[in-house]
């Protein structure tokens, strides 16, 4: 399989020259951990299917009763077709410059909100968002979607989310304004330590080559990424077993593909099967 890095929204618009963009995305192929670089911030309204997003600080998994906001930057995205023949979503992009203008014109005071890495937020759809989503779908086949109209639709949802989720949105806005997007290697590694990401995917999220990532990882942890993640998973597995959780529950929580692969790695690490672990201690 040929790996590709997608640049959005540029790949959707050959001559990208707007601070706000609207795109109706559809695919008939499920995907896993596509590498994507966003040059603009994103509002994603999921219509059909399921979506997973992993960035440098967080991970979400949503169905079509939810939507999310994401700041510009690098992330991994997976799409899953569920009941219909296609995965569908409506994507609204807006630049940092657009947001700065929005904040300035509305005189939004962000000084009382903390500096916090908050670059991925998921929300439940309510009746307003459902109606808003429908209004965008009505526009899908229109030939008169002017830049002014798209900018107005972006402002509309930002106004609503700011009114309903003031603190969360203000922290999100402040995160963009202060450019607090680049976590350190250690923060990214430990945020994703129980997830089955490859070294290449982690290096991508850290904005490093694989060789640089491995070198800096060894400097930070004095071990290899593989051994670090095995130890982290096994330590958590032991803790969960001591809390009387069953192996059949633990392997899924630690994102192993099946119980057998979890049990084999557990036995290599502890010298005993998960089933007999409590007898050993």
Nearest Cα neighbor of 154 from 9, 15, 50 is 9
Instruction: Say how far apart CA 96 and CA 56 lie, in whole Å.
Output: 19
pLDDT of residue 91: 98
CB 16 within 8 A of CB 48: no
pLDDT, one tens digit per residue, over 105-144 is 999 999 888 888 788 999 999 999 999 999 999 999 887 7
pLDDT, one tens digit per residue, over 36-55 is 999 999 999 999 999 999 99
pLDDT of residue 6: 95
Burial of 14 (0-12, 13-18, 19+ CB in 10 A): exposed
pLDDT of residue 65: 96
pLDDT of residue 1: 36
pLDDT of residue 3: 59
pTM for this entry? 0.79
pLDDT of residue 192: 85
Residue 11, token pair as written in the block: 């790949």
pLDDT per position in the chain (281 positions), as tens? Answer: 345 899 999 999 878 789 999 999 999 999 999 999 999 999 999 999 999 999 988 899 999 999 999 999 999 999 999 887 899 999 999 999 999 999 999 999 998 888 887 889 999 999 999 999 999 999 998 877 789 999 999 999 999 999 999 999 999 999 888 765 556 888 888 888 777 788 999 999 998 999 999 998 988 888 888 888 888 889 889 999 999 898 988 888 888 889 999 999 999 999 999 988 887 76
Question: Residues 143, 149, 152, CA angle at the centre, nearest 5°?
Answer: 155
The DSSP element (H or E) to which 47 belongs, if any, is strand 41-48
Residue with tokens 């002017």: 146
Strand-pair category, 5-8 with 31-38 = parallel
pLDDT of residue 142: 83
Nearest Cα neighbor of 214 from 194, 185, 183 is 185
pLDDT of residue 70: 96
Nearest Cα neighbor of 119 from 172, 40, 51 is 172
Separation in Å, CA 15 to CA 11, 71, 97, 142, 151: 9, 21, 18, 20, 17
Instruction: Say how far apart CA 57 and CA 42 lie, in whole Å.
Output: 16
pLDDT of residue 181: 53
Residue with tokens 């929580």: 253
Phi first, then psi: what are they for 240, rounded to 5°? -65, -35
């Amino acid at each position: 399989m040929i790996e590709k890095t997608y640049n959005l929204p540029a790949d959707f618009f050959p001559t990208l020259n707007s601070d706000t963009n609207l795109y109706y995305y559809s695919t008939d192929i499920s995907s896993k951990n596509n590498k994507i670089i966003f040059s603009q911030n994103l509002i994603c309204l999921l219509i059909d299917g399921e979506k997973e997003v992993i960035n440098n600080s967080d991970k979400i998994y949503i169905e079509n009763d939810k939507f999310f906001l994401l700041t510009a930057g690098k992330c991994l995205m997976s799409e899953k077709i569920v009941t219909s023949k296609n995965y569908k979503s409506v994507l609204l992009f807006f630049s940092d410059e657009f947001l700065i203008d929005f904040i300035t014109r509305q005189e939004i005071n962000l000084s009382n909100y903390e500096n916090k890495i908050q670059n991925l937020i998921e929300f439940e759809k309510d009746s307003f968002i459902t109606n808003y989503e429908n209004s965008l779908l009505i526009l899908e086949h229109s030939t008169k979607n002017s830049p002014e109209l798209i900018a107005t639709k972006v402002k509309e949802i930002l106004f609503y989310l700011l009114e309903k989720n003031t603190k969360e949105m203000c922290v999100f806005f402040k995160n963009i304004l202060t450019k607090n997007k680049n976590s350190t290697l250690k923060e990214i590694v430990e945020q994703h330590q129980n997830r089955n990401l490859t070294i290449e995917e982690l290096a991508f999220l850290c904005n490093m080559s694989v060789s640089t990532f491995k070198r800096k990882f060894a400097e930070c942890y004095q071990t290899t990424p593989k051994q670090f993640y095995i130890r982290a998973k096994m330590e958590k597995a032991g803790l969960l077993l001591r809390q009387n959780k069953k192996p059949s529950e633990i392997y899924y929580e630690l994102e192993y593909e099946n119980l057998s692969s979890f049990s084999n790695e557990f036995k290599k690490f502890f010298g005993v099967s998960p089933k007999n672990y409590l007898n050993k201690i």
